[in-house]
Amino acid sequence: MEMNNKKWLTDQILSVCDNMGMVGHFYNLLYLICVNRFVWSDLPNSIDPDFIEKHLIQNGELAFINHPKFGFLVTLCCGDYFNLYGRPQKYLCWTINNEVNEFFKAEDVVIIRNNKLSQNTFDFIQRYAGIMAAIQKTKEVNLNAQKTPVMINCDESQLLTMKNLYAQYEGNSPVIFGSKAMDFKELQVLKTDAPYLLDKLQEEKTETLNECLTFLGINTTKAKKERMITDEVNANNDMVNICLSIFLNTRKQAMDDINAKFGLDIKLDLADYCKSEFEPEIETEPVKEGDPLE
């Protein structure tokens, strides 16, 4: 019995690890899509453009400073000494290696915000990664149920033997050999009759992904426009534009403030896959020769 408990515990651990790995897979996918939406250019050589987007997603806000020793830097930050309106009068700015860790006056820094609330995007994509992982695992279970829609009920003493036989069956073995010692009288095989849900689960996963991408400001209309009317396309484009502006406006404001305060010419642009087409394509049938024109 102790061995069975250990086996059960091992199976549970492997299952948890597998689920976590699936969540990590979808999180990495969404993170990579998210981190490449905005393109910073003409930055000072001392600033890594990848650092900006990675840590805006993770932390919600960053500080742009002109350090007396290191020059222009983008650092992690935390506001302090708030005024009557809750605005920080000072910011603690620090780098990953802690080589910079000091206070700067608010008027000496420009805060780059992920959005107006300085909220990260990490929690959002982590949540959607969990939903998509759950759908994918359900797909795998349903797919396996289509291949092996049976449940085997046997005596505990024959459990290992039946598992070995079932492994041969699942591995598509052309011949399965048994021994005379096996007792087939107590053996029961029950059909689970699992319904085929793969198409519905795939559709649900796609809809979940599209919902997530819409919030991130990425247009998915092209992938589904054949099922949408013009008004639906326009409404979708409007929503994408609104969501994208949540993240774009605060970055553009920071870019303008940095250029004005420090005399720079930093530029910010959208990745190609974020540039929405707001004029929907309306397909019309070509006029055949001889058809009357109204």
Tell me what pLDDT residue 85 has. Answer: 92
Nearest to 35 by CA among 46, 49, 22: 49
Using an 8 Å Cβ cutoff, are 154 and 187 in contact?
Answer: yes
Strands 38-41 and 150-153: unpaired
The answer to whether 262 and 256 have CB atoms below 8 angstroms apart is no
pLDDT at 236: 75
* Of 106, 125, 128, 120, residue with least CA distance to 53: 120
Phi, psi of 151 (to 5 degrees): -125, 130
Could you tell me how far CA 37 lies from the centroid of its own chain?
13
Q: From 223, 217, 272, select the one nearest 243 (Cα to Cα).
A: 217
**Type of residue at 166:** Y
Q: What are phi and psi of 153, to 5 degrees?
A: -115, 120
pLDDT at 289: 47
Per-residue pLDDT, 272: 87
Q: Which residues contact 282 (CB under 8 A, 6 or more apart)?
A: 230
Question: Which of 228, 263, 268, 232 has the alpha carbon at shortest distance from 247?
Answer: 268
pLDDT at 76: 97
Q: Which residue has the tokens 């910010």?
A: 268
Q: What is residue 220's predicted lDDT score, i.e. its pLDDT?
A: 80
Give pLDDT, residue 173.
57
pLDDT score recorded for residue 149:
59
**pLDDT tens digits for range 123-142:** 999 999 999 999 999 998 88
* Contact (Cβ atoms closer than 8 angstroms) between residue 157 and residue 199: no
pLDDT given at position 273: 83
Quote the CA–CA distance of 134 and 149 in Å, as a whole number: 21
Beta-carbon count within 10 A of 116 CB: 11
pLDDT at residue 169, as a whole number: 64
* Low-confidence spans in the chain with pLDDT less than 50: 1, 8, 225, 277-294
pLDDT of residue 190: 63
